[in-house]
Structure 1
Amino acid sequence: MGETEKRIETHRIRCLSKMKMFLMAITCAYVAKTLSGAYMNSMLTQIERQFNIPTSLVGFINGSFEIGNLLLIIFVSYFGTKLHRPIVIGVGCAVMGLGCFLEALPHFLMDRYEYESTVSVSGNLSSNSFLCVENGTQMVGPTHDPSECVKEVRSFMWVYVLVGNIIRGVGETPIMPLGISYIEDFAKSENSPLYIGIIETGAVIGPLIGLLLASFCANVYVDTGSVNTDDLTITPTDTRWVGAWWFGFLICAGVNVLTAIPFFFLPKTLPKEGLEDNPDIIKSSKEEKQTEDVKKQQRGITKDFLPFMKSLSCNPVYMLFIVLSVMEFNAFVNMFSFMPKYMEQQYGKSTSEAIFLIGIYNLPPICFGYIAGGLLMKKFKITVKQAAHIGFWLTLSEYLLYFLCFLMTCDNSSVAGLTTSYEGIPKDLYVGNNIFADCNKDCNCPATIWDPVCGDNGLSYMSACLAGCESSIGTGINMVFENCSCIQPPGNFSAVLGLCKKGHECSMMLQYFLIVSAISSFIYSLAAIPGYMVLLRCISSEEKSLGVGLHAFCTRIFAGIPAPIYFGALIDSTCLQWGTLKCGEPGACRFYDSIYFRYIYLGLPAALRGLSIFPAIWILVLLRNRRLPGETAPPGTELETKDTEKQNELKDVHQNSKISNDDELKTKL
């Protein structure tokens, strides 16, 4: 008896440790995949400037991850359950590492980054061609030579980033559906929400690390080590600045490869958690599983694919949940992808500062929200219908709070000739820019090059030449321009490099915006786990993996891919000044109309989320009178019920035999 108990205890510890090992491994995989994903989203602005491409094309590069993902998502979700799921996940992590390496490759194949400038980088005062010289010949500006455009072919190196992102999407495919289905198959029903909450917490820790890494890399010049940074005439707050975007991708590649290793040592299946100490149940479950495997082999691996798809498509709660998710994903993909650019244009922050603030203010509340949501589901044993109501009301309250962001705004930067006149009077936009004025009409300045300076009068100018500056002192970023004819009193006719900073009031608006976004992030993430449990429990267990995969497929094809593209095109429509390539062709946008940018960035997600309220209400109505699969046979009790039934049958047989023996004894007497 003692040996049997010892064997059972050893088996229980071994099984529990493997379950915990898988939970730890899949959490690390989530950390790795979201680390690289968050880093990629944060580096979109840097990639846009490095390759001089519009925001719409950057959105397409960002959406290419979803293209790679949807190529395999349904097949992996369905056929992955027939294969060795941990090994498939491990292979996916390794493929993600390869994709990250390809994304960093263009840096090593291109020449050094050159930004447009009218200022002499070396500070050679013998050449004042970048200043206002009356009746002089301007030496700087686009050449309009087609041969220069041929040299700019290096800008097509963004294709490597595109392909790498597609491969990264292919590698990420098996992690979510197979990891969640593995947890659902072998974890206790009451532990499943907590485990998923832990996994989702890993999906928040990853972006936190990714954003901190991106903040560091964005603050380091892209060609640091190969150029003298003291000669630079731009700072991280300048829209021409490009950080060391490639360095973080190399780190992401190494992390993804390392997380792949543990999955190759995990078993294909595990006993149901909590039932490992009952050898009879383990034996019966193994026999049932072997019988099911034989049946599946006899049926063929694909014969139940179409019935499963038909069952899912005829499930109104599941289909409405997909519609709801597509609308929500359209809103949040856009907001998260372009949030650094929004904070940079709206509040005058550098990309590095914006990314750091997002990581500090938004991700910790999301992490706490996921953990709290999982614990609440476990502690109070919330049913699916209750979870649906909790998710709906929390999301609705967060949506109403979101509208406060429309009040936390800053005015456009005052740039002479673009947003204001040279006298400092705000002008009506999109009616034609008056770049030249009486104070600079004889300077022969280039009208397309963006090299802003800030005058002592608090007004910014597109270049020192357009400010009418005739001389300069100092070198690099410390250069000061003097005798500027366009800078009127109360200034002293001098200017420095860079746009004028926005005032204290704008900084306060940024703080309010970050506080509201932090509260909103916590409330929304608190509703995420109950909402996700509605998805998992509205479909039967055998359809679960395919259902999760189909849900991910729909959100990617209808939200993940098109959303960054059309959102980037809308953002491009607010551009007031484009960068210029050497051949005169437009490059990346340098200056946006922050007011219209705000309308698009905040207004479009608000409209999409408002529409998502209708399918959410419909789901609540359907759940009121609908019996879900988990309610007919409560999850996690199936084996226990069978064991109880067997024990009752043995009791009945024992009682019947006892009654028959008593009858025989009475008869004999």
Structure 2
Amino acid sequence: MGETEKIETHRIRCLSKLKMFLLAITCAFVSKTLSGSYMNSMLTQIERQFNIPTSLVGFINGSFEIGNLFLIIFVSYFGTKFHRPIMIGVGCAVMGLGCFLQSLPHFLMDRYEYESTVLGNLSSNSFLCVENGTQIFKPTEDPSECVKEVKSLMWVYVLVGNMIRGIGETPIMPLGISYIEDFAKPENSPLYIGFVETGAIIGPLFGLLLASFCANVYVDTGSVSTDDLTITPNDTRWVGAWWFGILICAGVNVLTAIPFFFLPKTLAKEDAKDNTDIIQNDKEEKQKVKVKKENDGITKDFLPFMKSLFCNPIYMIFILISVIQFNAFVNMMFFMPKYLEQQYGKSTSDAIFLIGIYNLPPICIGYIFGGLIMKKFKITVKQAAHVAFWLSFVDFLLYFSCFFMICDNSSVAGITMSYEGIQQDLHVGNSILADCNMDCNCPTKIWDPVCGSNGLSYMSACLAGCETVIGTGLNMMFQNCACIQTLGNSSAVLGLCGKGHDCSMMLQYFLILSSISSFIYSLSAIPGYMVLLRCVKPEEKSLGVGLHAFSTRVFAGIPAPIYFGALMDSTCLHWATFKCGESGACRIYDSTNFRYLYLGLPAALRGLSVIPAIWILIILRKRHLPGENAASGTVPVEAKVTGKENEYQEMDQISKVLNNDVLKTKL
């Protein structure tokens, strides 16, 4: 009786430790996806804070993948030989360090100063149109002031911090999943991994909500009176408190690291039935020898496996398709907040919130339904290839509807419209000045927009020809504006004019279509990855999945935001200007060309991926895949059991890949 109680107590103790690890690794997944989704959502704010072009912001975004690649091979092949919980804990702590480093520039720099003709000149009214007045907004020629004005290379802290965050994230997924698989019952492993994957879904939800909140809070809140501000969150000069959310992410990552340092290197298997410690220790030693032999075999067979994969046409074509489509989707999701801002006039805070509400739930639902369909209907690999292709193709055709959900450019006199309210060619040249403001001696480069009572926006109150002002802060109203041609008193208020009700309706249609598109494409994700896993030999699967992830990161995750950002920069109509005359972040884009690039380039890339996808379908018709039965008929019981186990393992691998590649890319 005593021995039985001892065994039961031992099992409870081991189960408790495993469940403690399960809870800890789930929290780690929440924290890493929280900081990842938050950082991706805040890059627009960082662009404005440091006054850098979008292409450079794309490079900062890609630095996470660069950091991830530094350790991915080391962790994949040698991680199991070390104390995995401690390595995961160190990874979480390193992620926290990276987040802290990213927030550091806020405390090292001076307060954020946005372009304004009003601030500091309210008492003298020198920002208004005064005939034959003196221009007070001339660029300085003092070198010392220029050094202070240019924010030097403070953005490097964000880049390095993001790279360190990528390094810290590397061991969490592979070592966490392998730890669960080693010490959990085979039938419990999928359930436990499902709990962990739930964390990968909860994290982005909290991350997007946190980003939406922080984007609505002014960057220097607490040290600057918000009553004195002349901009709102809808203004392209607005910078939210990006640093605050990153500090929260840093704290969460450090806290999640603590439990891992108190967890053991190994545990007894959940279904262990040995009654003595000697037999258990003997099993553990045998397991270690087995793992060592497996690792030695992997190292020895590395080059033959690589050769086999490179000579596998289906696998190589699948990688080609993934790289092309990841280029399309990375660009779409990374620049989606900016697109909603420029096309539909939404603030960054609203754009992030809408993306989280409309896109994240359909992705999760599509992912779950895709797995259920595969399991319920027992879809074969060739059928899965057709399901993935046709779902993706339907989504591709549906995608073209986005080209009809458009809004016109913001009406800004001298940039997109003439002062008479007639649309003008955006590439004619500089026509900022007109007869109505020629004698006002206004600055022509400072972006401080006002909305006239005629529905036309102007770059500043001075360029609108306004002579008087009443009120303070956001309540200021400019009157007697010579350039505003309207009946009665011509006046203007701060900010760009809104885009109207029709544009709001177009935004709703776009978001609904985006939700449907996200669901359909996510539905095709699991069948697509089933093709990836089944087209290679069982012993090559681990290396095949790793090489696939490596390829998509190197050829899509890193370069795509950089070249796409450079293309976005080419559509800029007006850049922010430093006191020394240097350009900063873009204030307004040509929304028509921006739309053509944002929607057109991904459409071209996805259309290009259809060709190799059809090629795969043709090859699959005549090819016998590894693990397939040569002919239909009776299958031995052992083969059925083995096939079932392999199916569970493959579905687990699909889940891991999707949560760490497709879902992360979508978010």
Q: Give me the TM-score of the superposition, normalised by structure 2.
A: 0.87
- Superimposed CA distance per residue, residues 404-461 of structure 1 (whole angstroms, 9 cap, x where no aligned partner): 1111110001100111110001111112131111101111111101000000000000
**1-structure distance, mates of 2:620, 2:263:** 38
1:287 to 1:396, Cα distance in 2 relative to 1, 3 A: farther
- The match for 2:171 is 174
> Which of the numbers 292, 312, 315 marks the counterpart of 2:290?
292
- Superimposed CA distance per residue, residues 493-535 of structure 1 (whole angstroms, 9 cap, x where no aligned partner): 1000000011100000000111111111122222223333443
1:11 to 1:251, Cα distance in 2 relative to 1, 3 A: same
**2-structure distance, mates of 1:258, 1:152:** 38
Is residue 544 of structure 2 the alignment partner of residue 582 of structure 1? Answer: no
- The match for 2:642 is 637
1:306 to 1:141, Cα distance in 2 relative to 1, 3 A: same
**1-structure distance, mates of 2:59, 2:602:** 19
1:185 to 1:319, Cα distance in 2 relative to 1, 3 A: farther
CA contact (8 A) 1:106 1:158 kept: yes
After superposition, residues 275-314 of structure 1 pair within 5 angstroms as 289-293=287-291, 295=293, 299=296, 302-314=299-311
After superposition, residues 354-365 of structure 1 pair within 5 angstroms as 354-365=351-362
After superposition, residues 200-211 of structure 1 pair within 5 angstroms as 200-211=197-208
Is residue 232 of structure 2 the alignment partner of residue 227 of structure 1? Answer: no
**1-structure distance, mates of 2:598, 2:478:** 36
AA paired with 1:404?
S
Aligned partner of residue 133 in structure 1, secondary structure: coil
CA contact (8 A) 1:101 1:249 kept: yes
**1-structure distance, mates of 2:139, 2:74:** 51
1:507 to 1:301, Cα distance in 2 relative to 1, 3 A: closer
**2-structure distance, mates of 1:452, 1:445:** 13
1:32 to 1:69, Cα distance in 2 relative to 1, 3 A: same
- Superimposed CA distance per residue, residues 324-373 of structure 1 (whole angstroms, 9 cap, x where no aligned partner): 22112111111111111110000001111111111111112222222333
RMSD after superposition: 3.2
**1-structure distance, mates of 2:164, 2:356:** 26
Is residue 102 of structure 2 the alignment partner of residue 103 of structure 1? Answer: yes
- The match for 1:628 is 626
After superposition, residues 184-583 of structure 1 pair within 5 angstroms as 199-266=196-263, 289-293=287-291, 295=293, 299=296, 302-490=299-487, 492-540=489-537, 542-583=539-580
1:541 to 1:105, Cα distance in 2 relative to 1, 3 A: farther
Aligned partner of residue 113 in structure 2, secondary structure: coil
AA paired with 2:545?
V
1:290 to 1:499, Cα distance in 2 relative to 1, 3 A: closer
Q: CA deviation at 1:22?
A: 4.7
Aligned partner of residue 362 in structure 1, secondary structure: helix
1:267 to 1:392, Cα distance in 2 relative to 1, 3 A: farther
Aligned partner of residue 101 in structure 1, secondary structure: helix
CA contact (8 A) 2:150 2:578 kept: no
**2-structure distance, mates of 1:27, 1:541:** 28
Aligned partner of residue 493 in structure 2, secondary structure: strand
- The match for 1:34 is 33
Q: Percent identity?
A: 78
**2-structure distance, mates of 1:616, 1:267:** 46
- The match for 1:608 is 605
**2-structure distance, mates of 1:464, 1:188:** 71
1:444 to 1:593, Cα distance in 2 relative to 1, 3 A: same
- How many residues are matched? 636
AA paired with 1:637?
T
Q: CA deviation at 1:291?
A: 4.8
CA contact (8 A) 2:337 2:351 kept: yes
Is residue 146 of structure 2 the alignment partner of residue 149 of structure 1? Answer: yes
AA paired with 1:412?
N
> Which of the numbers 123, 134, 138 marks the counterpart of 1:137?
134
Is residue 61 of structure 2 the alignment partner of residue 56 of structure 1? Answer: no
Q: CA deviation at 1:59?
A: 0.9
**2-structure distance, mates of 1:285, 1:390:** 44
Which range is displaced more, 415-424 or 387-396? 387-396
**1-structure distance, mates of 2:37, 2:459:** 33
Which range is displaced more, 50-59 or 382-391? 382-391
AA paired with 1:43?
M
- The match for 1:665 is none
AA paired with 1:570?
L
- Superimposed CA distance per residue, residues 585-637 of structure 1 (whole angstroms, 9 cap, x where no aligned partner): 11111010001000111111111122222333333444443332587986973
**1-structure distance, mates of 2:274, 2:629:** 25
Is residue 596 of structure 2 the alignment partner of residue 599 of structure 1? Answer: yes
Aligned partner of residue 300 in structure 2, secondary structure: coil
AA paired with 1:97?
G
**1-structure distance, mates of 2:640, 2:54:** 47
**2-structure distance, mates of 1:487, 1:523:** 49
1:388 to 1:639, Cα distance in 2 relative to 1, 3 A: closer
CA contact (8 A) 1:190 1:378 kept: no
CA contact (8 A) 2:68 2:166 kept: yes
1:444 to 1:153, Cα distance in 2 relative to 1, 3 A: closer
- Superimposed CA distance per residue, residues 235-258 of structure 1 (whole angstroms, 9 cap, x where no aligned partner): 111111111000000111111222
CA contact (8 A) 1:472 1:481 kept: yes
Q: CA deviation at 1:541?
A: 5.2
Aligned partner of residue 472 in structure 1, secondary structure: strand
**2-structure distance, mates of 1:635, 1:179:** 29
CA contact (8 A) 1:74 1:550 kept: no
| Structure 1: runs of 5 or more not aligned | 642-669
CA contact (8 A) 2:538 2:626 kept: no
Aligned partner of residue 451 in structure 2, secondary structure: strand
1:94 to 1:36, Cα distance in 2 relative to 1, 3 A: same
AA paired with 1:627?
L
Aligned partner of residue 115 in structure 1, secondary structure: coil
AA paired with 1:117?
S
1:400 to 1:236, Cα distance in 2 relative to 1, 3 A: same
AA paired with 2:455?
G
- Superimposed CA distance per residue, residues 151-193 of structure 1 (whole angstroms, 9 cap, x where no aligned partner): 1343421110011011011111223344455566667778777
AA paired with 2:255?
L
- The match for 2:82 is 83
Q: CA deviation at 1:93?
A: 1.7
- The match for 1:667 is none
Q: CA deviation at 1:141?
A: 4.0
Q: CA deviation at 1:310?
A: 2.9
**1-structure distance, mates of 2:24, 2:385:** 30
1:16 to 1:440, Cα distance in 2 relative to 1, 3 A: same
**1-structure distance, mates of 2:203, 2:93:** 17
Q: Which protein has the larger Cα radius of gyration, Structure 1 or Structure 2? A: 1
1:87 to 1:626, Cα distance in 2 relative to 1, 3 A: farther
**1-structure distance, mates of 2:475, 2:420:** 26
CA contact (8 A) 2:387 2:527 kept: yes
CA contact (8 A) 1:177 1:549 kept: no
